[in-house]
Amino acid sequence: MVIKVFLATSSGSTAIKKKQQDVVAFLEALKVEYAQLDIACNEQNRMWMRQNVPEEKKPSNGIPLPPQIFNEESYCGDYETFFDAKEDNAVYSFLGLAAPPGSKEAMQADEEQHIVENGTHADESNEEGAADDSIGEEFLEETREEVAE
């Protein structure tokens, strides 16, 4: 799957340029495969992006501004939703990609799965297990003392 980032290479808006650079730099840092599709110089890219941004995600004037992010044909979001996902350590989910092992997002998903399966946090169950072990050791010691008497 290729992530598509629709952007305007000749935008006069510094805010748009900064947002585009932020998205691209973050994808590069994560080593996510992506394609930059220019809407300023390519009418087909501009029309495809405008037609494929869901109606509920379009601004009141109906024209979505770059950057707009897609996973192949599936709409991921705009800069604001990307930024929110970044803040929540959920960029891979936002992009519709599996988080690589060891990433914060993968560790959070593992923790959530553990809670669903066991009803406790992984670190809580370890602490409870440690407490159970010490109680078991105390019981075993008392039993040994009783047998020895």
Q: For residues 68 and 38, is the Cβ–Cβ distance under 8 A?
A: no
For the full predicted model, state whether its pTM sits above 0.75. Answer: no
| Structure confidence by residue, pLDDT tens digits, 3-45 | 999 999 998 899 999 999 999 999 999 999 999 999 999 999 9
| Structure confidence by residue, pLDDT tens digits, 65-98 | 999 999 999 999 999 999 999 999 999 999 999 9
d(CA 99, CA 4): 18
Q: How far is CA 112 from CA 107, 115, 120, 128, in A?
A: 9, 5, 9, 18
